[in-house]
Amino acid sequence: DTGVSQNPRHKITKRGQNVTFRCDPISEHNRLYWYRQTLGQGPEFLTYFQNEAQLEKSRLLSDRFSAERPKGSFSTLEIQRTEQGDSAMYLCASSFSGGPETQYFGPGTRLLVL
């Protein structure tokens, strides 16, 4: 078990471009979460999936953001028409539902929008 992985680790893009991030969860975990973290702040929840179903979305997830988990395994987070305010660390976490449901985080993808 190699833990949660995220790709790319770093992304620099120009304002207005689209970007896509990938998260591979721990293999037996059925839940997958996306968070965003800006400098000096704690992570903030964006959305989560149970298997392939997207069960909750934060108000932070504007209509320029879309997340998918098509086969209940890996997930992608796409940001369309990026803005400078989208610059942040995007974190993925996975867990197995039931009990205390501990979430395990990946290393994150750091996005810089120029």
Partner 1 sequence: DAKTTQPTSMDCAEGRAANLPCNHSTISGNEYVYWYRQIHSQGPQYIIHGLKNNETNEMASLIITEDRKSSTLILPHATLRDTAVYYCIVRPLWEGSARQLTFGSGTQLTVLP
Residues interacting with partner 1, by CB under 8 A?
Answer: 4, 31, 33, 35, 41-45, 48, 55-56, 58, 89, 91, 93, 97-98, 100-108, 110
Nearer of residues 72 and 107 to partner 1, judged by Cβ: 107
Nearer of residues 45 and 66 to partner 1, judged by Cβ: 45
Nearer of residues 43 and 82 to partner 1, judged by Cβ: 43
* Size of the chain, expressed as the number of residues it contains: 114
Separation CA 82–CA 16 (nearest Å): 5
Separation CA 11–CA 89 (nearest Å): 10
Q: Which tokens is 76 given?
A: 């992608």
